[in-house]
Amino acid sequence: MSLNLSETLQKTVDSLSKNFSESLIEVYQSSGDTFIRIEADSLLKVTKYLKEELHYVYLSDIFGIDRYTSEERFEVVYNLLSLKSQTRVFIKVRCEEENPELDSVVPVWKSAGWNEREVFDMFGVHFRNHPDLRRIFLPEDFEYYPLRKEFPLLGIPGSIELPSTTPESE
Amino acid sequence: MKLNDIQSRVQPTFFKEHQNRLYKSLEDKHTTIEEMDDGDPLTTKMILNMGPQHPATHGVLRLVLQLDGESIEKTKLDIGYLHRGVEKIAENKTYQEFMPYTDRMDYLSPYSNNVALCTAVEKIANVEVPERAHYIRMIGAELARISSHLLWLGTMVMDAGAISFFIWTFKEREKIYDIMDRIAGHRFTVSHARIGGVANDLTDEATGSIKEFIESFPNELKDYHKLLDRNRIFFERNEAVGVLRTEDALEWGATGPVLRATGYGLDIRKLSPYARYDQVEFDIPTRLEGDNLARYYVRMEEMNESVRIIKQCLNNIPNGPIRADNAKQAYPSKDEVYYSMEGMIHDFMMTDTGICPPEGAESYHAVESPKGELGYYIQSDGTGHPWRLKIKAPSFTNLQVLENILDGEMVADTVVIIGGVDPVLGEADK
């Protein structure tokens, strides 16, 4: 597939493929956005390089995708914005269904903290060395990961104890 | 009372594990400070739970503050009390069906949310939007910005102690509600934008009321400035409170007016112009101080800029269709639905199946909502439902900033700082 990259994006892709040729899996475009998929174990190195050398200073968002495949089921996407060249690039990593685990990028961008907690809450992807990996929306007592495809839309009745509605009824 | 063991002193009655983890995480925050501090002989330390049902937290935000006397040592935020799982709902709805849910995300500026969803779907499905619809959307989105900032202004000044001000800003908001009623037929949750255009054209009555509003509103703004700009109480409550430096703001991912008040003029309307923002003239107000007062000035100036944009839109708005004339991409007009067989079939198909972006397509599109960068990532599997729809909510990222700027402030300032950051929990909690 031919790529239609702007000058700065071309530079990004070139320097990534020069420095991390082994961990770069694919570069593709869809609807005008550029996605770069990399090996999960080199995530920290690549993101650090992107931030420090290529000016992707601003982390907009991190989110998960449930691909619902037997291999490499979960995908985590990092939405990066370069403030210098005002370009946006998406870094993707994949992980397995059994014990999905990735390196936390909090050492690179502090703002990753809550976003990673959200991915953990919704998909159950663990982040190694995250300073405070707790669920963010749902209470800790909840056992399921609601954005996984097998979780029913209507929820699971009785999956969480609700607070008593009558006061002082211990 | 020693505070390195918070957990033994609290007895949560429900969601026990959740509460214990929250207190544990508060215990663990800045542990280096905690170690230096041996005991509390004057018993000035306490844990204060604020919210989720607290009028000053603007929704259902819960803060757990560790106080030393009146100053905050550290804070943890607990959100999710308004979590409705809209991303899960989106996966089970057509794109158009999902629109009313976006109204209820940032419920203070529903129009911006509608536009954000529509532009994202139009990007992924390659829908061409008529020129007039772009201008109507811009007018709606800017009115929503004014409305949202007015609510922020009223509540923030109320948090600082002036109650009557709230009523004056709501007088102006009421006018915007009336305009929205005339534009869209709804006052609050408008759902006016449609994929491929907007629901209905601006009537003369609506245009007239918008014109009337933008004539009178700058005078109201002047009055607000007159009241606040030299108000000593307002200044002392806001100046040098909740200071955020530019580097920290970028590092913590602050967005919208919170970021612009620190001196970095990041605005999606300029960064990657959507609709016709590249054809109107406007400035991005910024301030250097990064405190609450800077946020006040930035938002006040933004309202002025919004008026400027609306004026230009009203002058430049072309005549023409308001929705894409393609039965596979947008709803047919009601005239067609009522008087032609094809129209009715197309209407049914749009409701039943909806618009189907190409299989495997992915896209991210962001707009500048009143709170900051509001983005929709959509991944399509070729059907009428998105495979994954992710909302990048500006309030969510700004709340993370809030968790860190509260440390070291006075407890009396928390409400003012929350007011200054202006989070909307409907959006942050999804």
Q: Mind listing the pLDDT tens digit for each residue in B82-131?
A: 888 899 999 888 888 888 898 888 888 889 999 999 999 999 888 888 98
Instruction: Note whether B373 contacts A79, CB cutoff 8 Å.
Output: no
pLDDT tier, A78 (very low <50, low <70, confident <90, very high otherwise): very high
Q: Could you list the residue range(s) of the whole structural domain that residue B112 is in?
A: 86-324+354-428
Q: How many domains does chain B have?
A: 2
Q: Are residues B123 and B170 in the same domain?
A: yes
| CA pseudo-torsion sign B172, B175, B177, B183 | negative
* Segment B169-179 mean pLDDT: 90
Q: Are residues B45 and B165 in the same domain?
A: no
CATH of the domain at B152: 1.10.645.10
Chain B hits for A159, CB-CB cut-off 8 Å, are none
For residue A76, what pLDDT is reported? Answer: 92
Q: How far apart are CA B224 and CA B165, in angstroms?
A: 9
For residue B347, what pLDDT is reported? Answer: 87
Pick from B78, B100, B117: which residue ends a domain? B78
* Segment B240-264 mean pLDDT: 88
In a domain, B344, yes or no: no
Q: Are residues B231 and B312 in the same domain?
A: yes
Pick from B61, B78, B95: which residue ends a domain? B78
Q: How far apart are CA B21 and CA B328, in angstroms?
A: 50
Helix, coil or strand: residue B230: coil
- Find the closest chain A residue to B357 by CA distance: A31
Which of A44, A149, A29 lies closest to A93, judged by CA? Answer: A44
For residue B80, what pLDDT is reported? Answer: 85
For residue B1, what pLDDT is reported? Answer: 42
For residue B2, what pLDDT is reported? Answer: 47
Chain B hits for A113, CB-CB cut-off 8 Å, are 400
**pLDDT > 70: percent of chain B:** 94
Q: Are residues B212 and B108 in the same domain?
A: yes
Q: Are residues B250 and B394 in the same domain?
A: yes
Q: pLDDT tens digit string along A113-132?
A: 899 999 999 998 989 888 88
* Segment B263-288 mean pLDDT: 88
Q: How far apart are CA B293 and CA B142, in angstroms?
A: 23
Pick from B78, B105, B138: which residue ends a domain? B78
In a domain, B401, yes or no: yes
- Find the closest chain A residue to B87 by CA distance: A147
B6 touches chain A (CB under 8 A): no
Name the one residue in this structure whose structure tokens are 């779907």. Answer: B121
ipTM over 0.95: no
B30 touches chain A (CB under 8 A): no
B49 touches chain A (CB under 8 A): no
For residue B33, what pLDDT is reported? Answer: 47
Q: Are residues B417 and B388 in the same domain?
A: yes
Q: Are residues B11 and B116 in the same domain?
A: no
The answer, yes or no, to whether residue B14 has pLDDT greater than 80, is no
Give the DSSP per-residue string, A34-87: EEEEE-GGGHHHHHHHHHHTT---EEEEEEEEE---SSS-EEEEEEEEETTTTE
For residue B307, what pLDDT is reported? Answer: 92
Q: pLDDT tens digit string along B17-55?
A: 888 888 888 877 765 444 445 556 566 777 888 878 777
- Claim: this prediction has a pTM higher than 0.90: no
Is the domain spanning A7-128 CATH 3.30.460.80? The answer is yes
In a domain, B153, yes or no: yes
What is the 3-state composition of chain A as percent helix, strand, coil, each rounded to the nearest 5? 20, 25, 50
Q: How far apart are CA B217 and CA B208, in angstroms?
A: 14
